[in-house]
Structure 1
């Protein structure tokens, strides 16, 4: 992944959702969420998402970009708002990513803000990640190319980056 110097402590202002009592993220779980520094996040974005400085957010990526999901998942909003008790989002993500619970995965909100987190922690606390940016943020596993996009109005979709995507 990235060198340890690419990480910063979670900040109650920048990473507010991890500290909000409504999201119930205990301190021991917060310790497993590694926020990337702006420089580390920019390095990750440039390497895996886009080298174009004007494309700093998923909503600014061109239609020709590789981030094109192929499979539609459940609407995340009912679960996020507590109106649906089943874990449809987690079940969907487990089925499509096929990762171990300790496997590190990246949550990318934009060029300046990304997180590295064990997959199991993400599954249990995904609302905290999505609360910070629900306009195209995505979960990405670089080794497999698997990604899931969390879009506005609860859209959740999955795809796999092809080996030749730039």
Structure 2
């Protein structure tokens, strides 16, 4: 399977809606199930976000978004979100998206810190984030509601390696 990564375009909203309409995707995000196509489009049509998409053939099968801030003291930080179509789970799409987002963050966006939150029961995502250099910073106990109960969120971050070495 050949995966190509490129910057998000508004024309990708249909494929992204196809991803976010699936319960097995939204159950692992902060979004509610059954999002409208307008809501999905609003997630990505923001100039403060930096979104890359993964294509297989002519179809977008995943995205990674860096949520940038205009806060003067936090411009070195981005919050990261990712989603991959379930048909492509375990095929390297998520890893490839994460590596490309990290390359952009380190070498083009001048970011020092990437951070994310992940459901504690999402073991595959936790393993992926760990493989690409994220470390656990803490646990937010009973912080989100999923499938009728409160669950923990894992806080993870990645500090750019050359920044740590320069301290």
**TM-score of the two chains, using structure 1 as the length reference:** 0.34
Q: Which structure: larger Rg? A: 2
Higher strand share: 2
